[in-house]
Amino acid sequence: MTDSAVVTVSALWAVVAGALLCSLAIFAVALDARLSTRAHGAGGGWFTVPARFARLLRQRRRTTVAADTLLWRAGGVGMFIGAFLVVAVIPLGRWTLADLEVGLVWFNAIDILVWALVWLTGWGANSTHSLIGGYRFLAHGLAYELPLMFALVAPAIAAGSLRVGAVATAQVDSLWFVVWMPVAFLIYLIGVMGFSVWGPFAAAVATDIAGGAGIELSAVDRLVFHAGRYMFLAAGAAFSVPLFLGGGAGPWLPDWVWVLVKATAVLAVLVWLRRKVPLMRPDRFMTFGWTILLPAIVVQDLVVSVVVVGKG
C-alpha cells in the first residue's frame, strides 16, 4: 500500500467518525463501570451508563457565586469538541477525513489545547477546590507534554513524514513501530492518560480536593466535561493505531476493522490501568518526567534516527 491508498472522504463521513468515537467512549464508560462494581463486589456495571446519563440530564444546573460562566462552560464543551478534531486525522483503514501534511502536529496542538480547557473549567467556577484542580493539571502537563512531543517525533522520523497516513503506510509489510520504538509507545500512552485526566493523572479531579476541577459542574455541564475525558481517551487510543500498531495491517479482516479492533484493545488496557496504577502527585511526577521520561525518549529518537540513516 502506498501513500495514494489513503483516500480523503467527504466531510459527510464525519457523522460516521463521530459515531464511532462515541461508541468507543461508551465502551470505555461501561468497562470502567464494570471494573468498578466488580472491585466492590457488586454487579450490573455494564448497565450503569444509561442510568448515569439519564440522571445528569434530569439534574438541575447549578452555578457558583461570581462564576465566569462563559469560560467555565467553554472548558467542558471544548473537551467534547477537541476529541472530534483529533479523530479527523485518524485513517480508518484507507479512508480519512483529513490527510493533513502536518497531521502529527495537529494532534499535538489539540492535546496542548486541553491544558487551557481543563484550567478554564477550574478557573471559571470561582471555587477554591476547582481552581486547585486546574493548577494540578497544569503541573502534570508540564511533566508529560515534552516527552509526549518527542514520542510523536519517533514515528515521524521513521516514516519521513508528518502525515498520519504516511506513518501507517510505512509499517505495511515491515515491523510495526511499537516493536522497535517501545519507549516512544509507552510514553505516548502516558501522555494519552495525562491529557485525558485519567488514572494516575487524575489528581485534577481527585477526591482529596472534593472532585477538583469538576466539582462545581452539574447536569449537562458535568456530563459534557466527563464525556470529553472519555472521548479524549478513546481518541488517543485510536491515534496509537496508525502511529505504532501498523494502522489497518492484519490478516483476514478488512483494514478498517483492524483499526477498530486495535483501538478497542488499547482503550481497554487504558481503562484497566486506572485501578492498577496509583495516583501520582504532580510534584513527584514532574521529577520523574524530566529526569527519567525525557532522557529516555531522547535516546529513543536518537536510536530511530540512526536506524533510518543507516537504511538510507
Specify burial of residue 164 (Cβ count, 10 A radius: 0-12, 13-18, 19+): buried
pLDDT surpasses 70 at 47 = no
- Which DSSP state fits 292? I
CB atoms inside a 10 Å sphere around CB 289: 24
| 269-295 mean pLDDT | 89
- Per-residue pLDDT at 17: 87
Band of residue 217 on the pLDDT scale cut at 50, 70, 90: confident
* pLDDT given for residue 118 in this prediction: 87
Q: Which of 62-66, 67-71, 94-98, 293-297 has the lowest mean pLDDT?
A: 62-66
Of 31, 79, 81, 47, give the one whose Cα is nearest residue 217: 79
What are the CA-CA distances from residue 238 to residues 43, 164, 266 (Å)?
29, 12, 8
In this predicted structure, what is the pLDDT of residue 56? 66
- The average confidence (pLDDT) of the chain is 84
More confident residue, 238 or 208: 238
The answer, yes or no, to whether residue 45 has pLDDT greater than 60, is no
DSSP 28-76: HHHHHHHHHHHHTT---GGGHHHHHHHHHHHSPP---TT--HHHHHHHH
Cβ–Cβ under 8 Å, residues 123 and 131: yes
Cα–Cα distance measured from residue 135 to residue 123, given in angstroms and rounded to the nearest whole number: 9
pLDDT band at 242 (very low <50, low <70, confident <90, very high): very high
Query: Considering only 38-42, 276-280, 301-305, which range has the smallest mean pLDDT?
Result: 38-42
Q: Check residues 185 and 3 and name the one with the higher pLDDT.
A: 185
Q: How confident is the model at residue 57 (pLDDT cuts 50, 70, 90)?
A: low
Looking at residues 41-69, what average pLDDT do you find? 67
Residue 40 has what pLDDT? Answer: 63
With a cut of 80, say whether residue 229 has pLDDT above it: yes
Q: Return the pLDDT at 4.
A: 45
Confidence of residue 184 (pLDDT cuts 50, 70, 90): very high
Q: Which residue has the cell 477538583?
A: 212
pLDDT band at 263 (very low <50, low <70, confident <90, very high): very high
Query: What's the confidence (pLDDT) of residue 134?
Result: 83
Is the confidence at residue 60, as pLDDT, over 80? no
**CA torsion, points 133, 136, 141, 143, in degrees to nearest 10?**
-160
- List the domain boundaries for the chain: 62-304
pLDDT of res. 222: 79
C-alpha cell at 116: 487551557
Residue-level pLDDT at 49: 67
- Between 46 and 266, residue with greater pLDDT: 266
- Given a cut of 80, whether residue 24 has pLDDT beyond it is yes
Contacts of 79 (CB under 8 A, 6+ apart): 114, 117, 118, 121, 224, 225, 227, 228, 229, 231, 232
User: What average pLDDT does range 251-269 have in this prediction?
Assistant: 92
Report long-range pairs for 38-43 (Cβ below 8 Å, ≥24 apart): 39/275
